[in-house]
């Protein structure tokens, strides 16, 4: 049983066998029936490296991916452009293989990149503080609820609007199931933000709304924070980071907490993950939040230095009194978002938002003209819109797939009251030709 | 390092001190406690009116490196809370028996087993290696 991957010598092997009183290595496997010990695997003959490369390329060449497909699917993860610089910086060994920066002496690069991430997120959202990130938007919302239950003592009710992504609402309930807390506000298909607000009372710790919402609709949330805070509760606004290139920030709205799925910021679709949980709040709540926080300070020589701070909040220090079991962040994805935001800058973020806004509106206008199709809702929207269909979404999507187009999110499971319907997303990656082709296929299907 | 252990106070084994002032008791954490904890950064204290039993946790004290419960050495009703500490927690490190007081209590009579200054000093010396 010799292999150049096993580093022990014959002498060492003999010594170990003697120590455990076994005569031969084969004797260690006597409990496995003889006929099962060395089964025939029937593998093909080994290939040389060039042959292997050719075979694997033939397989991967069959993949449909974001750059060779026309994608109109969103519902929480979006086909936005990932600049080449993002991958180049992420792949640097110093970032790619770095562990959590517990030792600031050897981690200033990692710590600084996280500090820059936190700063850029505050700049983007107008919020006072950001943590180093959570796993994804869904768990960021869950942490907001747990935080609110700790900030507003004695209150056990979380009100969540129906317009929040249904998967996030499900994750929220999963997270809170072992806590003495109730989640309500989204039970009725027709419930809007006003209905959720009406449920906010002196037992409510938090109201959670999403804007633009799950169906892409934009809401005027001015004054909402004051109404919620007047009842002694907190307001969490779940936003789309790209939308902040154009629209009012959660900070301007006076939100107590603002969360988001950061995937649109330079992170690919990645088969559903890893993604990025953006979490921001007010400075006065900093002791109550979960997650890593990087701070800036001076070392013993008076030089600028970065360090993980307010560590006594975290479970590895505070144990059973911690507000969350999370004591990590999504470092590499936060770095991707940081590179993306740095490359785009204020002007670039605005430009991407404009492209998404205008292209989605162009698509919606053209689809609305098709017989059998109707736009669901007539208010302002950003990047996504729900469409009533002449046939079930699954059929429409099959027809689109046959034309190399990935269609919208089938709404029949989550919003059955719409009948046959799908949620279509349009980003800067969908050219006008793409959109015209989509409209053409939809016309033929209808 | 020797710690300040004022003779007129009584002490709990969880490092709180008790001072009698008229018919109220003043409670804080000892010099040994603040030294072990390091720089205090955050406190959670009870509300006035809260009823405590001996041994109840009445709050949390957090330093840069640790987070600890505060335990009531006596039972009673909280009649005052040191609000100044919200913006100047360092008073606990600098003056744990004076400006660093945490709460005032109208005692119910029930008490944990408390040590006098001499016994507490020995108790600290045994722990601080």
Inter-chain contact B67–A287, Cβ cutoff 8 Å? no
Residue B56 reports pLDDT greater than 80: yes
Shortest CA gap A295–chain B (Å): 13
CATH code at position B69: 2.40.50.100
Confidence category of residue A439, pLDDT binned at 50, 70, 90 = very high
Q: Tell me, yes or no, whether B129 lies in a domain.
A: no
Span A433-444, average pLDDT:
97
Q: Tell me, yes or no, whether B52 lies in a domain.
A: yes
Residue A4, pLDDT score:
83
Owning domain of residue B53:
10-114
Q: Tell me, yes or no, whether B90 lies in a domain.
A: yes
Span B1-22, average pLDDT:
91
Q: Could you tell me which CATH number the domain at A84-340 has?
A: 3.40.640.10
Angle (CA) A141 A147 A149, round 5°: 110
Inter-chain contact A317–B67, Cβ cutoff 8 Å? yes
Q: Tell me, yes or no, whether B51 lies in a domain.
A: yes
Query: What is the domain count for chain B?
Result: 1
Residue A312, pLDDT score:
76
**Distance in angstroms (rounded) separating the CA atoms of residues A128 and A258:** 10
The residue among A429 and A319 whose pLDDT is bigger is: A429
- Residues of chain B with pLDDT > 70: what percent? 98
- Buried-exposed string A353-388: b where 16+ CB fall within 10 A, e elsewhere: bebbbebbbbbbebbeebeebeebeeeebbbbbbbe
Shortest CA gap B64–chain A (Å): 6
Q: Tell me, yes or no, whether B126 lies in a domain.
A: no
How would you class A274 by CB atoms within 10 Å of its CB: exposed for 0-12, middle for 13-18, buried for 19 or more? middle
Confidence category of residue A321, pLDDT binned at 50, 70, 90 = confident
Inter-chain contact B65–A317, Cβ cutoff 8 Å? yes
Confidence category of residue A12, pLDDT binned at 50, 70, 90 = very high
Residue A280 reports pLDDT greater than 90: yes
Confidence category of residue A257, pLDDT binned at 50, 70, 90 = very high
Span A196-202, average pLDDT:
97
Residue B65 reports pLDDT greater than 90: no
Determine the residue among A311, A312, A317 to mutate to test chain B binding: the one whose Cβ has the most chain B Cβ atoms within 10 Å.
A312
Residue A1 reports pLDDT greater than 60: no
Residue range(s) occupied by CATH 3.90.1150.10 in chain A: 70-80+345-445
A288 touches chain B (CB under 8 A): no
CB pairs under 8 A between A and B: 21
Q: Tell me, yes or no, whether B125 lies in a domain.
A: no
Shortest CA gap B80–chain A (Å): 20
Chain A residue numbers with beta carbons less than 8 Å from the beta carbon of B67 are: 312-313, 317-318, 321
Chain A residue numbers with beta carbons less than 8 Å from the beta carbon of B41 are: 310, 312
Inter-chain contact A312–B69, Cβ cutoff 8 Å? no
Average the pLDDT over each of A1-10, A394-403, B22-31 and give the range with the smallest value. Answer: A1-10
B57 touches chain A (CB under 8 A): no
B39 touches chain A (CB under 8 A): no
Residue range(s) occupied by CATH 3.40.640.10 in chain A: 84-340
pLDDT digits (tens, 9 = 90+) for A66-93: 888 899 999 999 999 999 999 999 999 9
Q: List the one residue out of B52, B59, B94 whose CA is nearest residue B73.
A: B52
- Confidence check on the interface: ipTM exceeds 0.90, yes or no: no
Q: Are strands B51-52 and B16-21 parallel, antiparallel or unpaired?
A: unpaired
Q: Could you tell me which CATH number the domain at A70-80+345-445 has?
A: 3.90.1150.10
Span A387-415, average pLDDT:
96
Residue A229, pLDDT score:
97
Which neighbouring-strand residues pair with A237?
A209, A258
Which residue from B minimizes the CA distance to A150? B44
**What global pTM score does this model have?**
0.86
């Amino acid at each position: 049983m010799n292999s150049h991957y096993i580093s022990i010598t014959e002498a060492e092997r003999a010594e170990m066998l003697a120590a455990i009183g076994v005569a031969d290595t084969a004797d260690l496997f006597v409990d496995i029936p003889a006929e099962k010990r060395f089964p025939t695997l029937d593998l093909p003959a080994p290939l040389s490296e060039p042959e292997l490369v050719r075979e694997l390329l033939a397989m991967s060449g069959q993949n449909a991916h974001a750059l060779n497909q026309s994608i109109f699917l969103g519902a929480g993860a979006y086909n936005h452009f990932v600049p080449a610089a993002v991958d180049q910086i992420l792949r640097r060994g110093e970032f790619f293989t770095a562990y959590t920066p517990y030792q600031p002496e050897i981690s200033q690069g990692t710590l600084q990149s996280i500090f820059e991430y936190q700063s850029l997120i505050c700049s983007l959202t107008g919020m006072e503080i950001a943590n180093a990130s959570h796993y994804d938007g869904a768990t960021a919302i869950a942490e907001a609820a747990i935080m609110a239950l700790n900030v507003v003592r004695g209150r056990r009710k979380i009100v969540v609007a129906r317009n929040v992504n249904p998967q996030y609402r499900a994750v929220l309930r999963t997270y809170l199931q072992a806590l003495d807390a109730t989640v309500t506000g989204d039970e009725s298909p027709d419930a809007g933000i006003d209905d959720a607000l009406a449920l906010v009372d002196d037992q409510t710790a938090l109201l959670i709304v999403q804007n633009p919402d799950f169906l892409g609709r934009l809401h005027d949330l001015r004054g909402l924070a004051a109404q919620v805070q007047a009842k002694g509760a907190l307001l969490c606004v779940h936003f789309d980071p790209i939308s902040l290139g154009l629209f009012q920030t959660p900070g301007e709205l006076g939100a107590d907490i603002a969360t988001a799925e950061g995937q649109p910021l330079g992170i690919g679709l990645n088969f559903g993950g890893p993604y990025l949980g953006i979490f921001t709040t007010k400075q006065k709540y900093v002791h109550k939040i979960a997650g890593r926080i990087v701070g800036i300070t001076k070392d013993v020589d008076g030089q600028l230095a970065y360090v993980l701070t307010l560590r006594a909040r975290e479970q590895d220090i505070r144990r059973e009194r911690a507000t969350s079991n999370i004591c990590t962040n999504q470092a590499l994805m936060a770095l991707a978002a940081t590179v993306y935001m740095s490359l785009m800058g204020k002007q670039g973020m605005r430009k991407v938002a404009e492209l998404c806004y205008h292209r989605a509106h162009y698509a919606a206008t053209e689809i609305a003209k098709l017989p059998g199709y109707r736009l669901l809702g007539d208010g302002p929207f950003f990047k996504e819109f729900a469409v009533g269909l002449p046939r079930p979404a699954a059929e429409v999507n099959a027809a689109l797939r046959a034309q190399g187009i990935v269609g919208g999110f089938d709404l029949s499971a989550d919003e059955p009251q719409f009948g046959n319907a799908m949620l279509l997303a349009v980003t800067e990656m969908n050219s006008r030709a793409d959109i015209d082709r989509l409209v053409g296929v939809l016309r033929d299907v209808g | 390092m020797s710690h300040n252990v004022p003779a007129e106070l009584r002490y709990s084994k969880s490092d709180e001190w008790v001072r009698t002032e008229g018919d109220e008791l003043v409670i804080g954490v000892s010099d040994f406690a603040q030294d072990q904890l390091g720089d205090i950064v955050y406190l959670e204290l009870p509300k006035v009116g809260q009823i405590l039993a001996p041994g109840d946790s009445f709050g949390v004290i957090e330093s840069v490196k640790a987070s600890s419960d505060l335990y009531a050495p006596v039972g009673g009703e909280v009649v005052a809370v040191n609000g100044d500490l919200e913006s100047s927690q360092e008073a606990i490190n600098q003056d744990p028996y004076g400006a660093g007081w945490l709460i005032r209590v109208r005692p119910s009579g029930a008490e944990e087993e408390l040590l006098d200054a001499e016994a507490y000093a020995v108790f600290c010396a045994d722990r601080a290696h």
